[in-house]
Amino acid sequence: MVIPAYNEAEALPAFHIKLYDVLKNTNLTFEIIYCDDGSVDDTPKIIKSLQKDYSNINYVRLSRNFGKEAALTAGIAEAKGDAIITMDADSQHPVDLIPEFIAKWQSGAQVVIGIRVNPSGKGLLKNSGPKIFNKLFKAITGQAVNIGSSDFRLIDRSVQSAFLELPENNRVTRSLIDWLGFDREYIEFNANDRDGGSPSYTRNMLFKLATDSFISSSPRPLYMFGWVGIFITSCSLLLGLAVIIEQLIMNDPLSWKFTGNAMLGILIVFLVGIVLLSLGLLSLYVSHIHTLSKRRPLYVIDRSKSIHSGKN
């Protein structure tokens, strides 16, 4: 189990008891890794006291608050199990579903994704934010996202090693795991209310998460300028040509009576179009650099399923 925790002193003890119960009943060997993301409340104390009362608890402390994505990655890197389940420390992800995750994994799934079906809370941003984000995301990047897709996930050991080989810095754990592929299954769940404490994601952090997802997923937003440029340039070019032919060459048989100012306007719009076009061209190059800079592998081999036969 990998559980990122940032200032979760209020919610953690109750969560731990529920979690431990469920894990014990699975009759599997387990470890719980609490990844303390630089908490400034009593979280470290609580985890350490839990360590005295329970076996199999590991405490990983980040040197400061790096954010949930970093904490998750740190925890996944430390985990030694054949399968790893990540979930929140605030009891919003129901522990009762853990046996279902494990069952799906035992019957062959390498990634099991929790899909949240109830709306994610009060307030305009939290309520319609995800819906708007998913729509925009699909429209702009062309990649469908699973609405409600959450960090309540199980990944197999083979997915863990592939995940840890991804070197990029602006990580969004969910989308990286989605990018990796592997055999996946889904489990729908209703998120509970938070068990004490308060959510630590601020509006700014959510915004950063959203932009990170966009930017690391697709260079398409960059190309938009190019398309606008093509549109503006071709419209103003046609209009300009029509004016030149009709008014300057043929002496205005249709009496359009374009003034000098209007012609100047068309010229300026044409030039703006050219500038946008060059931006679009530039973005093609930038997108190549962008792809390179993520240094994602060209492919991921699923070693658990690949078979080499014969001698080498």
Is 4 among the residues that bind ligand UDP (CB under 6 A)?
yes
Is 7 among the residues that bind Mg ion (CB under 5 A)?
no
Is 92 among the residues that bind Mg ion (CB under 5 A)?
yes
> Which of the listed partners (Mg ion, ligand UDP, none) does 68 bind, with a CB threshold of 5 to 8 Å by partner kind?
ligand UDP
Edge-first strand listing for the sheet containing 184-189: 57-61, 32-36, 2-5, 83-86, 149-156, 111-116, 184-189
Q: Kindly tell me which of 12 and 276 has the beta carbon lying closer to ligand UDP.
A: 12
Per-residue binder mask for ligand UDP (CB under 6 A), 53-72, x = binder: ------------x-xx--x-
> Which of the listed partners (Mg ion, ligand UDP, none) does 218 bind, with a CB threshold of 5 to 8 Å by partner kind?
none
Q: Residue 288 CB: number of other CB atoms within 10 A?
A: 11
Tokens 């690949």: give the residue: 306
Residues paired with residue 5 on neighbouring β-strands, in sequence order: 36
Tokens 């305009």: give the residue: 124
Alpha helices in the chain, H assignment, sequence order: 12-25, 43-53, 68-78, 98-106, 124-141, 157-165, 173-180, 203-217, 220-243, 260-294
Q: Which stretch binds ligand UDP (CB under 6 A): 2-10, 21-29, 127-135, 165-173?
A: 2-10
CA distance 262 to 116: 56
- Give the closest residue to 295 by CA, choosing from 159, 182, 165: 165
> Which of the listed partners (Mg ion, ligand UDP, none) does 200 bind, with a CB threshold of 5 to 8 Å by partner kind?
ligand UDP
Integer CA distances (angstroms), 82 to 88, 107, 154, in order: 20, 14, 10
Q: Kindly tell me which of 187 and 222 has the beta carbon lying closer to ligand UDP.
A: 187
Per-residue binder mask for Mg ion (CB under 5 A), 50-89, x = binder: ----------------------------------------
The binding site for ligand UDP (CB under 6 A) comprises 4-6, 8, 37, 65, 67-68, 71, 88-90, 92, 199-201
Query: What are the residues binding Mg ion (CB under 5 A)?
Result: 90, 92
